[in-house]
Amino acid sequence: MRKILALFSLILILNCSNNNSQKDNRKFVFKANREAPIGWVYLDLYADSSFDLRFNRRGKPNSGKYQYIEDTIYLKYDLKQDVYRSKAIINKNNLCFINDSIRKINNVECTELLEITLNNLIKQ
């Protein structure tokens, strides 16, 4: 019985690692986050034009494709359209999601402000 359980556990672990290996090999080109006791937000952009948006580090990400034009990032989600977080402007060390007004940065109304920790994006 122990051998069967050990074999089953090994197969399960290998299967999980194979499913995540393709995503884990993507190269980061941009990272921004806002950490707080409530409402953590992480945005990761990859060289293959894909992105992950998480609301906590271990949560399942909202994924999709992005387009970067001048100082603006446009997010197109795979499963659901998050209108609230579909457009963002890069401003020095911050990323500002824009749609509804909460905060103004250089006369731009921000709904959410994230700190940029990595920026290797190339303007189109």
- 13-17, 28-32, 86-90 — which is least confidently predicted? 13-17
Residue 83 DSSP code: G
- CA 23 – CA 40 distance, rounded (Å): 22
Pick the CATH number of 26-119 from 2.40.128, 1.10.101, 1.10.10, 2.30.30: 2.40.128
Express each pLDDT in 61-89 by its tens digit. 889 999 999 889 999 999 876 667 888 99
Q: What are phi and psi of 13, to 5 degrees?
A: -65, -45
With a CB cutoff of 8 Å and minimum separation 6, the contacts of 18 are none
The torsion angle over the Cα atoms of residues 46, 50, 56 and 57, rounded to 10 degrees, is -40
Does the reported pTM lie above 0.85? no
Instruction: Spell out the domain ranges in the chain.
Output: 26-119
